[in-house]
Amino acid sequence: MNINKVTLAGRLTRDPEIKHTPSGTTIADFSLAVTRFYKNNAGESQEDTDFIDCTAFGRSAEIIQKFLKKGNPVYVEGRLKLDTWESNGQKRSKLKVIAESMQFVGPRSQTLAPASVPSADKRPASATPAAPVPAAKAPA
């Protein structure tokens, strides 16, 4: 059995970077700060923050471009992807999350968007339950 599933909730560390493929697919690159709170052996409160790079494609990327900016909270579900390349003769690699669905979290004033994104059939959010936004498939 193979499972590649990631669930994150955090805040954008910077405004999303938007690109387009030659075929017109929108790509949004963004980074999330995810903080874990815990108590150490002495009982003192501690926090540890991880910074995680994410990429969304298609409609999800367009929604990110329109509504999210640095500091906005967001919930992301996706999969891990290892990017590899060569720089100055050295092989490099970086692990990132490919967003497959997302949901805005927090007050509307923070995201400037509805609490959930309307479904593809354009029904008003009041008529449908809140559901994650499916991300478009990455171009092959």
What residues does 103 pair with on adjacent strands?
A: 75
**pLDDT above 70 covers what percent of the chain?**
76
Domains detected in the chain: 6-134 (2.40.50.140)
- Is the pTM of the predicted complex or chain greater than 0.95? no
The predicted pLDDT at position 107 comes to 75
Q: State the greatest distance between any 2 C-alpha atoms of the chain, in Å, as a whole number.
A: 56
pLDDT tens digits for range 39-65: 999 999 999 999 999 999 999 999 999
Q: What is the pLDDT of residues 59-97, one digit of tens each?
A: 999 999 999 999 999 999 999 999 999 999 999 999 999
How many other β-carbons are positioned within 10 Å of the β-carbon of residue 6? 17
